[in-house]
Amino acid sequence: MRSWRARLLVLVAIMSIVAAACGGDEGGDETGATGGATSATGGTGGAAECNQDLSVGVAFDVGGLGDKSFNDAANAGLQQAIADGLVCEENVQVNEANATGSDRDQNVQALADAGFNLIVGVGFAFSPGINTIAPDYADTNFMIVDGYATCGTICGLTNDADAIPNVADYTFKEQEGSFLVGAAAALKCGCDTIGFLGGQTGPLIEKFQAGYEAGAAAVTPDITVLVEYIGDDVAAFNDPVKGEALSRAMYDDGAEIVYHASGASGAGLFNAAVSAGKLAIGVDSDQYLTVDPEYQPYVLTSMIKHVEVSVFYAIYDHLTGNFTAGPSTYDLAVGGVGYSTSGGFIDDITDQIDAAAAQIISGEIVVPTDPTTIP
């Protein structure tokens, strides 16, 4: 565990160099050999020397490249692996899902049939499909960001973990990072109402909600958190129009700050924040760096989820023969989640946020994952 923690912290420092890539690469313009495939790089070019013995396929979920959030964060990890020569640019292919994600499994199947050594599914919705096909591709390793494929039949899937020793689920304690930005919201606004915008309903995004509510309540026990979810399927992560409408409604109902966990739909939140003249909190990437300059004064902070770290290390571990099947969890202690300070808007309260972070790491604060358990 100590070496795992050390290498994550080192990579988090390295990845700060490429963080801006999440804002600059719109992606999706070039068509590759496989239907729906696009260029994997954002103009960085291949490394001077690279490993020709590894091939990597990456399947993105709805929102795709250019979402300036979850998918772009994953792509930053891929770009770092290419830049470091872990894999050659010409040996990488990415497939982007359509607007509804209905071709998600087809995209993974195409990568597996093409013989890629490692396939990364960016999003929990890849879990059932990969769980089903993995036994047929024993020479291919699969990694799923936010995955639950190895949960097996207890989670209603086809295969138990022992039948898919080539599948790894990389998950995060999003509730811990969300606690910190919830505390930041309450500390900064001194108000009685804030808001939360979720993408798809379900346990994953509820972790963001629960942490945010708990963090705000730790500062202001009687604070009201308005909550809206965009929908009940993955298309909810790619609906900025509805995201804007729901955010406007929360601002109109008195929310001074709204935090989103809604992928590309979060663009709607930032539009609403500017219109209302109020503050927003980003997610996954440092969204102060990804929004247009005129939006930056309205981005208080972001909950950073180092998806790029998980993608980079899936590639690194496969290359070094250390790929480990089953679940791996990235928490606050290993730098898997955190918060941003870009713009300097929370510089005056970072000591209090960091104190809360230390209490979470020590176990003094246990952050809930279910919003229904918060008083």
pTM of the model: 0.84
Measured CA to CA in angstroms, residue 169 lies from 6, 142, 150, 154, 186 at distances of 20, 9, 7, 15, 33
d(CA 131, CA 160): 8
* pLDDT per residue as tens digits for the range 278-307: 999 999 989 999 999 999 999 999 999 999
Both 68 and 125 in one domain: the answer is yes
- 243 plus 157 within the same structural domain: no
| 375 lies in some domain | no
What is the extent of the structural domain holding 9? 2-172+307-330
3-state helix, strand, coil in the chain (%, to 5): 45, 20, 35
Tokens at 309, concatenated: 């770290």
What's the pLDDT tens digit per position in 325-373?
Answer: 999 999 999 999 999 999 999 999 999 999 999 999 999 999 999 999 9
Q: How far is CA 125 from the centre of its chain?
A: 13
Q: Does any domain span residue 335? A: no
Contact 245, 271 (CB under 8 A): no
- pLDDT tens digits, residue range 180-202? 999 999 999 999 999 999 999 99
pLDDT over 70, % of the chain: 87
- Same domain flag for 155 and 226: no
Q: Does residue 267 sit in the same domain as residue 311?
A: no
- The residue ranking higher by pLDDT, 21 or 188, is 188
The answer to whether residues 55 and 193 belong to one domain is no
Q: Are 179 and 332 in contact (CB under 8 A)?
A: no
Q: How many structural domains does the chain have?
A: 2
Residue 189 lies in a domain: yes
Q: Do both 106 and 238 map to the same domain?
A: no
Count Cα atoms within 13 angstroms, Cβ side, for 361. Answer: 16
Same domain membership, residue 240 and residue 150:
no
Q: For residue 47, is pLDDT > 60?
A: no
Give yes or no: residues 21 and 110 share one domain: yes
Mean pLDDT, the chain, whole residue set? 89
pLDDT at 28: 36
**What is the average pLDDT across 72-101?**
94
Q: What is the CATH number of the domain that holds 40?
A: 3.40.50.2300
**What was the pLDDT predicted at 14?**
47
Q: What's the pLDDT at 18?
A: 43
Same domain, yes or no, for 167 and 228? Answer: no
Task: Read off the pLDDT band of 29 (50, 70, 90).
Answer: very low
Position 251 in a domain: yes
Do 226 and 97 have their domain in common? no
What is the pLDDT confidence band of residue 48, given thresholds at 50, 70 and 90? low
Instruction: Tell whether 13 and 154 lie within a shared domain.
Output: yes
Residues 312 and 293 in one domain: no
For residue 277, being part of any structural domain is answered with yes
Residue 73 included in any domain: yes
The two three-digit tokens of residue 361, written as one number: 């790491």
* Residues 11 and 312 sit within 8 Å (Cβ to Cβ): yes
Domain membership of residue 299 (yes or no) is: yes
Q: Does residue 245 form part of some domain? A: yes
Tell me the mean pLDDT in the region 259-263: 96
